[in-house]
């Protein structure tokens, strides 16, 4: 299945674009996606955490992804 992923902050800088079309197998979960993205973009390993939002809600640990989902990578937030 092909997923549409929105990227923000440092994740956008690492990947080099704001939107990404990414191929994953049927039945892939949120952790599967993060693992594959880190393989494709090794600099993502340098981030303390990357949150995944699915359909405007934080993705659950074993949440299965679907091609119609709106997915966003949210980088760690810093500042004060």
pLDDT at 78 over 90: no
Share of the chain above pLDDT 70, in %: 96
3-class state of residue 73 by DSSP? strand
Q: Please check whether residue 67 is in contact with residue 2, taking contact to mean a CB–CB distance below 8 angstroms.
A: yes
Joined together, the tokens standing for residue 33 give 């996606």
Q: With b meaning 16 or more CB within 10 Å and e meaning fewer, what string describes 57-79? A: eebeeebebeeebebbbbbeeee
In this prediction the pTM is: 0.90
- For residue 61, what pLDDT band results from cuts at 50, 70 and 90? confident
pLDDT at site 80: 54
Q: What is the mean pLDDT of residues 49-56?
A: 93
C-alpha 51/C-alpha 59 separation (Å) is: 8
């Amino acid at each position: 299945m092909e997923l549409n992923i929105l990227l923000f902050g440092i994740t956008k800088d690492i990947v080099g674009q704001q939107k990404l079309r990414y191929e994953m197998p049927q039945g892939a979960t949120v952790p599967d996606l993060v693992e594959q993205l880190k393989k494709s973009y090794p600099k993502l390993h340098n981030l303390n955490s990357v949150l995944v939002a699915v359909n405007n809600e934080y993705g659950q640990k074993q949440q299965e992804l679907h091609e119609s989902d709106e997915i966003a990578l949210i980088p760690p937030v810093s500042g004060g």
